Amino acid sequence: MADVFEPDQRSAVMRAVKSKNTTPELAVRKAAHAAGLRFRLNRADLPGKPDLVFPASKTALFVHGCFWHGHDCARGARMPATNRDYWQTKIGRNMVRDKASLAALKRLGWRPHVIWECETRDPEKLGRLIVRKLKRSPARPART
């Protein structure tokens, strides 16, 4: 089956795909803020440039799109019917890069976590998930 877009149209569609301030990322930021958590965004000095960084607990959160990062949910497992080899290779590279970023953060003493796009649908569950992931991180040292 041929692509429904001409090559220049497909290129424009792909350029419109955002990497920052996506709907799932905004949902995570809103839920974290509502839980009273404060964070930094897209720290370029950390491996993988995490979407949200909680420096006090050395926790990094990545918000991954299920399709783009190869999640095993229904949306992530769906593969386009056309240009299948391209997409499998692209998503495979993303998964390898993600794994390397998580490992590099762990070596630096950070606690990386991934929140999947499919986990951002219910704001209440999302808030509990974020708090649970941060509770696994070491507590903030007491101030004297």
- Could you list the pLDDT tens digit for every one of the 144 residues in the chain? 566 767 787 677 666 666 677 889 999 999 999 988 889 999 999 999 999 999 988 999 999 999 989 999 887 788 888 888 888 999 999 999 999 999 999 999 999 999 999 999 999 999 999 999 888 644 444 444
* DSSP state letters, 71-108: -SSHHHH---SSSHHHHHHHHHHHHHHHHHHHHHHHHT
Strand order through the sheet with 59-64: 40-41, 52-54, 59-64, 111-116
Domains of the chain from N-terminus onward:
19-135 (3.40.960.10)
Confidence (pLDDT) at 143: 47
Does residue 91 contact residue 70 with C-beta atoms inside 8 Å?
yes
* CA distance to 17, 49, 62, 75, 106, per residue, from 39 (Å): 25, 14, 13, 29, 19
Q: Which residues contact 137 (CB under 8 A, 6 or more apart)?
A: 54, 57, 58, 59, 111
The residue among 124, 104, 90, 115 whose CA lies nearest residue 24 is: 115
Radius of gyration of the chain (CA): 17
CA 131 – CA 127 distance, rounded (Å): 6
CB atoms within 10 A of CB 95: 15
Confidence (pLDDT) at 106: 95
pTM of the model: 0.80
